Amino acid sequence: AQKVTQAQTEISVVEKEDVTLDCVYETRDTTYYLFWYKQPPSGELVFLIRRNSFDEQNEISGRYSWNFQKSTSSFNFTITASQVVDSAVYFCALIRNSGYALNFGKGTSLLVTP
């Protein structure tokens, strides 16, 4: 069975603070894929990043960075120098190699205040 846990339900930070959103997953598969999606207040789901289970390289994209550690089954997401526009619900998701469905975590609601 696949499971994704985002233990932080809500996080509130002040603009320019760094914030890390945690994602821990469970799977018995050796090949699987991890995703992060953003859902801003407007409601759409925006793809941020994907990672396959064999690629543990960290990734940086502007103010966003992702840390994938198979040893701890975690795929954490850090926003550096947060901005108000980062306020959204962030979802971590897992899909098995032969799968057709994303298994989502319950999401972390991030509020960035000025």
Task: Give the helix, strand, coil percentages of the chain, each rounded to 5.
Answer: 5, 55, 40
90 binds another protein (CB under 8 A): no
Nearest to 63 by CA among 93, 18, 21: 18
73 binds another protein (CB under 8 A): no
Minimum Å distance from CB 52 to another protein?
Answer: 6
Structure tokens at 68: 């994938």
80 binds another protein (CB under 8 A): no
Quick note: the x/- pattern for another protein over 18-57, rule CB under 8 A, is ---------------x-x-x-x---xxx-x--x-x-----
DSSP code for 85: G
- H or E element in which residue 94 lies: strand 88-96
What number of chain residues touch another protein (CB under 8 A)? 26
DSSP code for 47: E
Residues lying near another protein in the complex (CB under 8 A) are found at 33, 35, 37, 39, 43-45, 47, 50, 52, 89, 91, 93, 95-104, 106-107, 109
